[in-house]
């Protein structure tokens, strides 16, 4: 059983989650935020809540936690997306760098092939001009 402790300037309050299975809150019985905030205020001031009010408050806390988790999950997803995009951008930059180097090497290879062909022609010409 989780216990939440709130420490304020005037008191230390402990919130022990209500887990009485005999009191159930159906979806139609969900309470408005203003009523839930009033119940929260009463609970944090140490005032008594009925079993139904406590169950309603616990349900509202669960909804608030769920909404907060959704928001944080979205933020985490955005951060994950940004991180993935940064990795993709880095990979693309690396790929462009490698591609440029491959093109440079291909151009150097082509220049060397032309030079080799020219040297072979010169050698062939020299061989044909020498007396036997």
The residue ranges of every structural domain in the chain are 4-129
Q: How far apart are CA 19 and CA 27, in angstroms?
A: 17
Query: pLDDT tens digit string along 35-60?
Result: 888 988 988 898 888 988 888 888 98
What does each C-alpha distance from 100 to 5, 10, 58, 88, 107 come to in angstroms? 62, 69, 62, 18, 11
- Helix or strand run (H / E) with residue 27: none
Note the pLDDT of residue 74. 64
pTM assigned to the model: 0.40
Q: What is the pLDDT of residues 75-98, one digit of tens each?
A: 667 778 888 899 999 999 999 999
Q: Rounded to an integer, what distance in angstroms lies between the CA atom of residue 4 and that of residue 65?
A: 14
| Residue with token string 């693309």 | 92
């Amino acid at each position: 059983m989780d216990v939440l402790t709130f420490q304020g300037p005037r008191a230390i309050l402990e919130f022990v989650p209500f887990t009485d299975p005999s009191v159930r809150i159906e979806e139609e019985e969900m309470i408005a935020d203003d009523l839930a905030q009033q119940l929260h205020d009463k609970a944090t001031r140490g005032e008594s809540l009925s079993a139904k009010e406590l169950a309603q408050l616990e349900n509202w806390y669960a909804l608030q936690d769920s909404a907060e988790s959704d928001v944080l999950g979205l933020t985490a997803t955005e951060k994950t997306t940004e991180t993935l995009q940064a990795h993709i951008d880095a990979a693309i930059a690396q790929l462009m760098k490698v591609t440029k180097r491959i093109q440079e090497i291909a151009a150097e290879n082509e220049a060397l092939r032309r030079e080799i062909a020219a040297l072979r022609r010169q050698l062939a010409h020299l061989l044909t001009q020498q007396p036997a």
